[in-house]
Amino acid sequence: MTVITSSRRVRRTPFTPGVEAAGVTSYTVYNHMLLPAQFGGFVEDYHHLKRHVQVWDVACERQVSVRGPDASRLMTLISPRDLAKMADDQCYYIPVVDRNGGMLNDPVAVKIAADHYWISIADSDFLQYVLGVSDALGLDVEAEEPDVSPLAVQGPKSDDLMARVFGDAVRDVRFFRYKRLSFEGREMIVARSGYSRQGGFEIYVDDGDYGMPLWEALFAAGEDLHVRAGCPNLIERVEGGLLSYGNDMTRANTPFEAGLGKFVNSPADYIGKAALAARPAERMIRPVAISGDLPRCDRLWHVYADGAKVGQVTSAKYSPDFNTNVAIGMIDKSHWGAGTTVEVETQDGMRDAVVQDKFWI
């Protein structure tokens, strides 16, 4: 059995005691923190997520707090998404690119105030980049990692569970919006968002001492809703085309290649703007259905057509609901059309595959 040894570099979270008591069976490491990867098994966790409600320890979604008179200027510089119309209670999914147009992260920006943002980051040392830009330009901002640990509630019964803990006002939270709601006298930002297609919320717990009391309150309130501890589910996220930065796309890819072109709309002179304009997409994220038995997709699988390499598969898993192997691929323009037949080279040999028109959910 492989064991992850915790340390100050691989940190526990405010919810780790609850995760352990719930019977976590495997972890991964994300932003130097423990991220639960499995409880009852991928398939069992998958069916439960789609039918009931789960509580996820996603404290690894670390926040980069940007605060000060130049906060808006800094945010405008680092992302090609137009933030000008972002409301004070809004969350924006924002690609972030380097000067060559390559993706550095795909975080969610949370607007706390006109001069204050939280950037909820994917797996990378993004704080260092923000500090570098800020320091190089002498911007009047304070950038730091605050004591904020997101806890997600996901699944079709999430509204009912959240209403029992935060009140019925939570039902009125719109998608990618938030409300400030109280738990045990502590006001928390509660957003309708999360890393699944089943709907739900992310609670930004901005004091670690409230972590386990909130965890326990959610489980006490949701017993009849069949609440369980869960985590982002590989099968469900691939079905829904939810991308994993560092896995499905990297700095080698532009937002256009990652299928995020609609978020490249800022009129401002952001970092990498000229480079993006000069880099049309020659490959793109596409859904791929693969035939046959699959090994674990823990490495790049090259994609071939007529003996020539035309892409790669980065995430794949068998879907019980769709009775096929669902996959995320980065496919060359010549072969990214729906219905194109290709071959995928796994560590167990070649498999036939077909590029799909759209993701499954």
The pLDDT, as a whole number, for residue 208 is 96
pLDDT digits (tens, 9 = 90+) for 54-96: 999 999 999 999 999 999 999 999 999 999 999 999 999 999 9
> Residues near 311 by Cβ (< 8 Å), separated by ≥ 6?
283, 286, 302, 303, 329, 330, 331, 332, 335, 336, 342
Comparing CA positions, the residue from 64, 106, 118, 100 lying closest to residue 81 is: 106
The length of the chain is 361
Identify whether the C-beta of residue 55 lies closer than 8 Å to the C-beta of residue 216.
Answer: no
The pLDDT, as a whole number, for residue 56 is 98
CA 195/CA 176 separation, integer angstroms:
12
Identify whether the C-beta of residue 134 lies closer than 8 Å to the C-beta of residue 144.
Answer: no
The pLDDT, as a whole number, for residue 1 is 58
CA 232/CA 76 separation, integer angstroms:
30
Exposure letters 18-35 (e unless 16+ CB within 10 A, then b)? bbeebebeebebbbebbb
Residue 264: which region, alpha, beta or left (left: phi > 0; alpha: psi -120 to 50)?
Answer: beta
Identify whether the C-beta of residue 80 lies closer than 8 Å to the C-beta of residue 270.
Answer: yes
Inter-CA distances, 110 with 89, 147, 184, 232, 271, Å: 8, 15, 23, 21, 20
Name residues of the chain where pLDDT drops below 50. Answer: none
Identify whether the C-beta of residue 114 lies closer than 8 Å to the C-beta of residue 72.
Answer: yes
The pLDDT, as a whole number, for residue 6 is 74
Kindly state the DSSP code that residue 222 receives in the 8-state scheme.
Answer: T
The pLDDT, as a whole number, for residue 267 is 97
Q: Measure the N-to-C terminal CA separation of the chain; round to a whole number of Å.
A: 34
